[in-house]
Amino acid sequence: MNIVVCVKQVPDTATERKLRSDDSTIDRSANGVINELCEYAVEDALKLKEAHGGEVTVLTMGPDQATDAIRKALAMGADKAVHLSDEALHGSDALSTSYALSQALKKIGFDVVILGSESTDARTGMLAAMLAERLGVPQLTLASKIEVDGSAISIHRQTDYGYDKVEATLPAVVSVVEKPDPFKPRYPSFKGIMAAKKKPIEKIGVADAEIDPAQIGLAAAWSVVSDFTAAPPRGKGVVVNDEGDGGTKAAEFLVSKKFI
Amino acid sequence: MDFRLPESARAVRDGIGEICSHYDMSYWERCEADKRWPEEVWAELAKGGWLGLAVPEEFGGGGQGLLELTVATETLSASGSAGGSAFTYVLTPGFGAMTIARHGSPEQKAGLLPRLAAGEIETCFALTEPDAGSNSLAITTSARLDGSEFVVNGQKIWITGVQRATWMLLVTRTIPAAEARPRTNGLTVLLVNVPEAVAAGTLSYRPIPKMGANTTPSNMVFFDDLRVPARNVVGEVHGGAVVLWDILNPERILLGASALGGAEVALRVGVEYARQREVFGRPIGANQAIAFPLAAVKAKLELARLMLYKAAWLFDRGEPCGTEANIAKLTASQAFWEAADAAFQTHGGMAYSLEYPVARLLADARIGLVAPVTEQLLLNYLATQVLGLPRSF
Ligand SMILES: Cc1cc2nc3c(=O)[nH]c(=O)nc-3n(C[C@H](O)[C@H](O)[C@H](O)COP(=O)(O)OP(=O)(O)OC[C@H]3O[C@@H](n4cnc5c(N)ncnc54)[C@H](O)[C@@H]3O)c2cc1C
């Protein structure tokens, strides 16, 4: 099975994250880590490979520093990587990113594309759906479990009441969610890290993937950041004294803040 | 000269660092408080091949050496486990795997190394006796050949990790110290199957209630006509000294690495508090009386790191490393102790509260000046062996 897993490098959520002052895009210059849900995607890809054989290819779109995220995925056990990197891609929004990735995916070829259901930087959560549409294949989103049987693929989609079983035919796009132990992403092993250094990373640009420059980058973006301000500092908390009506008071507070 | 770590050692730092980033200080504090082995971390270390780093590849290991183990121990310790808990890493990947890989017979290697690398079995090391600590050549635990077996009698003390060990590297005398010429002659290292010996009633042990490092108990051990097959000799009969030096030098380096990691933890804890705590309207770290001890520790721990890596590098090249190992151990242990002391003073009264990690760090740091070799004995070595000064003992 030809499995492609999309992996994104994001600014570390444990550190202070910034937008660039010149063009309001995310500052990707420092503290890049692999997006946490992408690690789950890699884990699921590796499990599929272990069960059905084949090859896992990592696909990343991002600046040069994104190689760190790629190496991590390779250290976990992916076989090779394609790194789509081009100055022209800078500032692409979700729509143009899905276009660029779909072009790269057409080049690579795939039976299944797996990606995290969202990234911790932009948090649009739309990429999987957009990608499936662009590729003209079924989308199976928010999967907590993936099963493949011949050309049939099915997932469990977590719901409030349990899970829905969603089925489709390969090729398909799957987005995955966080899962508890023992389904957490594996740590790279010593041999995995050493081997990753020797695995091939193919660097491609916009032209190699036959991407139309008019449809990517800041200029082509459908969404525009017109302004931004820092989050206000947290105000003083409210203490509710429970005189038998604590529950009501707490609920009233939440209503007043439009939380419920 | 190239001061960069080789790729293999960087892989160790990154890989173990990543595992440890999911187990914070409070995890290690809970292990210590509950006197509990860090099972979760141990399982991850085993899964990732980190326990078999120094086991040759043909036996399922990583094929690396002491430098990689040093970086592993340092990383584990610096993540928050600090000095005491780093025994986790030294007993089996260090003592067991390295010693068998270097000195084991072909059968010992084939039988033990793959299982050590996989984390299926663990080892401990028994040298110290009630009347032989610093003067370790004076041990009296005896092994007498009887047919194809040695019969062992005697007593050991402070033996750490017996509870989990399948195999004990036991240092015995096959020639009593008084008759041995030179005194290093007549030592024999035996591999003892601990559960079997316990079942046979020929080995028993009792944990010693202790001040810290409680993730791994230390014990009094008693041998009563313990029978050990002659094929379980590691190295040569009477020639155990060669094996012993190859245990003691790595032990110094690895426990030095654990002290170095501990120093980093203590420094981190101290600096953070010095930055946050305000007295007289300013952070206490703005006072040089608080800042300088922390800065001095930083200088010392960086020096210790260089010497640790150098000593490990020499060992891996098969070159003499005694002087470097001793200097590294001395400096790293002192750095940890001074870091814990500075962190303590920085915390004021709060250091005494068990809500802060400082008390634990202080207890961990103190062992380093005593075990596996005391500060005085390290200085004795430098004075007599390196500087050529006369020996007083
Ligand atoms: C937590 C812990 C774990 C341990 N784990 C193990 C283990 O797993 N296996 C094992 O075999 N051992 C272990 N040990 C034992 C350790 O190696 C010994 O405690 C150490 O070697 C010191 O020996 P001693 O305690 O007999 O001290 P002693 O030798 O009695 O020394 C007492 C004091 O006298 C000083 N002194 C002695 N002679 C001289 C001299 N000539 N000049 C100046 N000063 C001198 C020493 O420096 C020391 O300060 C452990 C110890 C501890 C505390």
Q: Is the pLDDT confidence value at A22 over 90?
A: no
pLDDT of residue A179: 87
What 3-state DSSP class applies to B384?
helix
What is residue B1's predicted lDDT score, i.e. its pLDDT?
A: 87
pLDDT at B157 over 70: yes
What confidence tier does A229 reach under pLDDT thresholds 50, 70, 90? confident
Chain A contact present for B49, CB below 8 A: yes
Rounded to the nearest integer, the mean pLDDT of chain B is: 96
Asked if B141 and B221 count as a contact pair (C-beta separation under 8 A), the reply is no
Mutate to test the interface with B, among A13, A187, A197 (most CBs of B within 10 A): A187
* Apex B43 CA angle, B39 and B44, nearest 5: 120
Rg, chain B, Cα only = 21
Does B376 have pLDDT greater than 80? yes
> Is A197 part of the contact surface with chain B (CB cutoff 8 Å)?
yes
B202 pLDDT band, cuts 50/70/90, is very high
Cα–Cα distance, B191 to B168 (Å, whole number): 6
**What are the tens digits of pLDDT across the range B377-388?**
999 999 999 999
Return the residue matching tokens 């042990």.
Answer: B205
**Could you report how far apart the first and last alpha carbons of chain A are, in Å?**
46
Give the tokens for residue B175: 């020639």
Mean of the pLDDT values across residues B25-29?
91
Rounded to whole angstroms, how far apart are CA atoms B13 and A211?
39
Residue A150 to chain B, least CA–CA distance (Å): 31
- Domain ranges (residues) in chain B: 7-122, 124-240, 244-386
Residue A243 has pLDDT above 70, yes or no: yes
Q: Can you give the pLDDT at residue B84?
A: 65
The correct answer on CATH 1.20.140.10 for the domain covering B244-386 is yes
- DSSP SS3 for A41: helix
Looking at the DSSP bridge assignments, the partners of residue A154 are: A147, A167
B102: its two tokens? 């270097």
Q: Atom of ligand 1 at shortest distance to CA of B375?
A: 47
Torsion angle defined by CA atoms of residues A220, A221, A225 and A226, in that order, rounded to the nearest 10 degrees? 40
Q: How distant is the alpha carbon of residue B358 from its chain centre?
A: 21
Residue type, B20: C
The reply to whether B358 touches chain A by the CB within 8 Å rule is no
Instruction: Write the class of the CATH domain A2-231.
Output: alpha beta
CB B363 within 8 Å of CB B331: no
Tokens of B298: 């930083």
Distance from CA of B11 to the nearest CA of A (A): 6
Question: Residue B317 and residue B66: Cα distance in Å, rounded?
Answer: 10
Contact across the interface for B49 and A187, Cβ inside 8 Å: no
Q: How confident is the model at residue A122 (pLDDT cuts 50, 70, 90)?
A: confident
Nearest to A178 by CA among A98, A127, A121, A118: A118
pLDDT band for A159, please (50, 70, 90 cuts): confident
Summarised one tens digit per residue, pLDDT across range A29-59 is: 777 889 999 999 999 999 999 999 999 999 9
Average pLDDT over every residue of A77-105 = 95
CATH 2.40.50.140 fits B7-122, yes or no: no
Tokens of A210: 């036959």
For residue B23, the model assigns a pLDDT of 92
Is B15 close to A197, i.e. CB distance below 8 A?
no
Closest to A114 in 3D by CA, of A57, A165, A34: A57
Count Cβ atoms below 10 Å from residue B179 Cβ, excluding itself: 10
Lowest mean pLDDT among A177-181, B280-284, B353-357: A177-181
Look at A11-25, A139-153, B146-160, B301-315 and tell me which has the smallest mean pLDDT.
A11-25
- Residue B198: predicted pLDDT: 98
What mean pLDDT is predicted for residues B186-203? 98
Pick the CATH number of B124-240 from 1.10.579.10, 2.40.50.140, 1.10.8.100, 2.40.110.10: 2.40.110.10
- Round to whole Å and give the CA distance between B90 and B67: 13
pLDDT at A18: 84
Ligand 1 shell residues, CB under 6 Å: B 125-128, 133-134, 158-160, 213, 218, 367, 370-374, 376-377, 380, 393
Is B205 within 8 Å of B220 (Cβ atoms)?
A: yes
Nearest-CA residue for ligand 1 atom 17 is: B372
Q: Which residue has the higher pLDDT, B107 or A250?
A: B107
Q: How far is the CA of B369 from the centre of ligand 1 (A)?
A: 9
In terms of DSSP bridges, do strands A139-149 and A172-176 run parallel, antiparallel, or are they unpaired?
A: parallel
Residue B7 at interface with chain A, using a CB cutoff of 8 Å: yes
d(CA A115, CA B349): 51
pLDDT in tens, B47-105: 999 999 999 999 999 999 999 999 999 999 999 998 766 788 899 999 999 999 999 99
Query: What count of other Cβ atoms lies within 10 Å of the Cβ of residue A13?
Result: 12
DSSP assignment of B76-97, as one string? HIIIIIHHHHTHHHIIIIIIII
Q: Residue B370 Cα, ligand 1 centroid: separation in angstroms? A: 6
What are the start-end ranges of the H helices in chain B? 7-21, 25-33, 39-47, 66-76, 82-85, 87-89, 99-103, 106-117, 194-200, 240-276, 288-316, 322-347, 358-368, 375-381
Nearest 5°: CA angle at B334, between B330 and B338? 175
Q: What is the pLDDT of residue B151?
A: 98
With CA atoms as reference, report the closest residue to B366 among B173, B162, B213.
B213
Contact B49 A188 (CB under 8 A): no
Q: What is the mean pLDDT of residues A168-178?
A: 96
Please state which of the ranges A96-110, B85-99, B154-168, B379-393 shows the lowest mean pLDDT. B85-99
For B340-362, the pLDDT digits (tens) are 999 999 999 999 999 999 999 99
Residue the block writes with tokens 């003992």: B393
CA-based nearest residue to B368, from B86, B61, B123, B75 = B86
Share of chain A above pLDDT 70, in %: 100
Average pLDDT over residues B108-115: 98
Q: Are B117 and B81 in contact, with CB atoms under 8 Å apart?
A: no
- What is the structure's pLDDT at B85? 66
Give the pLDDT confidence score for residue B48 in this predicted structure: 96
What residues in B contact A197, CB-CB < 8 Å? Answer: 7
Q: What is the pLDDT of residue A6?
A: 97
Closest-CA distance, A200 to chain B, in angstroms, reads 17
* B53 neighbourhood in chain A, CB within 8 Å: 190
